[in-house]
């Protein structure tokens, strides 16, 4: 009995391993458009795919980032300036991509660009603070995808959306977690819709990694600015000790953040090059062993864990 059970489980994982290792043919002929290539995951992925021989179309926010990326890659890689918050910039970038891919279409679209500031208690924030993040992390992803969708459909290609473990477990106030929850929902609906056209959609859910948008000094200076601008009523409720405890939390997360960005870009590369990509990829041991398991717990248990590991206001009952 046990022998047959172990054999079946072994055969299942062997088949799973074999499917995961199957690679799409003619990768050197396929174009991939990546947003947010100035630094971080997007920059590393662009260089990674370029080394693999793919035709990378890298979108950067600043010309400086684009020039530095071109200096580190082959002549195959081309760059374009893209501001994901501006429709005219997205339209221009789409036309630029269309001219390069021609009738073959766009094999891969990687929505990687994002921002994270401000992260703070919601009471410290205004509507504009939420909108600033949502414009890039969610609405930007949606508009870029809708604009590029006809090119991806033509190639029967891939859409890879970068979410986060914070799209499963909301640890902070502000727009970042909201935006990542939105990316998860948008990706799910997109995956079902585009499956009819042979297009595959994957979500990348990294844990905490050391990138430009997770820079602790920038977060701390912004939290200090929000405190200075807060009303006397909010300061009375939250107390200045909030700054110290919040600083401790941010520095701890920064210290525990993973420096190996290839754990994330390897997931992106697999989603773009595998014959059988996964629908969701978790990257980092903190994502696999803590945040994602917590997201499956009953709400009452998850709340207990997250409440006692979070920064709390002074006047908490």
Other Cβ atoms within 10 Å of 67 Cβ, number: 11
Looking at the DSSP bridge assignments, the partners of residue 55 are 31
**34 near 207, Cβ under 8 Å?**
no
Query: What tokens appear for 14 in the block?
Result: 């062997």
Query: What tokens appear for 86 in the block?
Result: 């501006």
Does a cis peptide bond (omega within 30 degrees of 0) precede residue 118?
yes
* Most distant CA pair in the chain, distance: 70
d(CA 143, CA 46): 21
d(CA 51, CA 61): 23
d(CA 276, CA 127): 41
The residue with tokens 């989603």 is 271
**264 near 204, Cβ under 8 Å?**
yes
Task: Mention every residue, 6+ apart, whose C-beta is less than 8 A from residue 40.
Answer: 112, 211, 212, 213, 261
Q: List active site positions.
A: 176
Query: What tokens appear for 177 in the block?
Result: 């977690």
Strand order in the sheet with 31-34: 78-81, 55-60, 31-34, 108-111, 158-162, 200-206, 280-283
Task: Tell me how far the alpha carbon of residue 167 is from its chain's centroid.
Answer: 9
d(CA 46, CA 49): 5
């Amino acid at each position: 009995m046990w022998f047959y059970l172990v054999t079946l489980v072994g055969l299942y994982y062997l088949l799973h391993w074999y499917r995961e290792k199957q690679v799409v043919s003619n990768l050197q002929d396929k174009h991939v458009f990546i947003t947010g290539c100035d630094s971080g995951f997007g920059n590393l992925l662009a260089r990674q795919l370029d080394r693999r021989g793919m035709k990378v179309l890298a979108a950067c926010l600043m010309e400086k980032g684009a020039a530095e990326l071109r200096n580190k890659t082959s002549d195959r890689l081309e760059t374009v300036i893209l501001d994901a918050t501006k429709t005219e910039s997205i339209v221009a970038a789409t036309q630029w991509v269309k001219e390069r891919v021609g009738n073959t279409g766009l094999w891969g679209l990687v929505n990687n660009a994002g921002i994270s500031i401000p992260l703070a208690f919601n009471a410290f924030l205004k509507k504009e603070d939420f909108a600033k993040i949502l414009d890039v992390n969610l609405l930007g992803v949606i508009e870029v995808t809708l604009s590029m969708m006809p090119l991806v459909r033509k190639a029967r290609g891939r859409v890879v959306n970068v979410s986060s473990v914070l799209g499963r477990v909301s640890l902070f106030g502000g727009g970042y977690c909201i935006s990542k929850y939105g990316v998860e929902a948008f990706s799910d609906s997109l995956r079902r819709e585009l499956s009819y056209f042979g297009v595959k959609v994957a979500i990348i859910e990294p844990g905490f990694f050391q990138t430009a948008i997770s820079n602790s000094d920038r977060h701390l200076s912004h939290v200090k600015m929000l405190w200075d601008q807060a009303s006397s009523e909010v300061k009375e409720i939250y107390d200045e000790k909030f700054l110290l405890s919040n600083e401790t939390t941010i520095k701890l997360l920064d210290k525990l953040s993973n420096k190996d960005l290839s754990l994330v870009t390897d997931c992106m590369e697999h989603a773009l090059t595998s014959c059988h990509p996964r629908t969701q990829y978790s990257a980092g041991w903190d994502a696999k062993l803590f945040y994602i398991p917590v997201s499956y717990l009953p709400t009452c248990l998850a709340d207990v864990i997250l409440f006692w590991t979070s920064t709390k206001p002074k006047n908490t009952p």
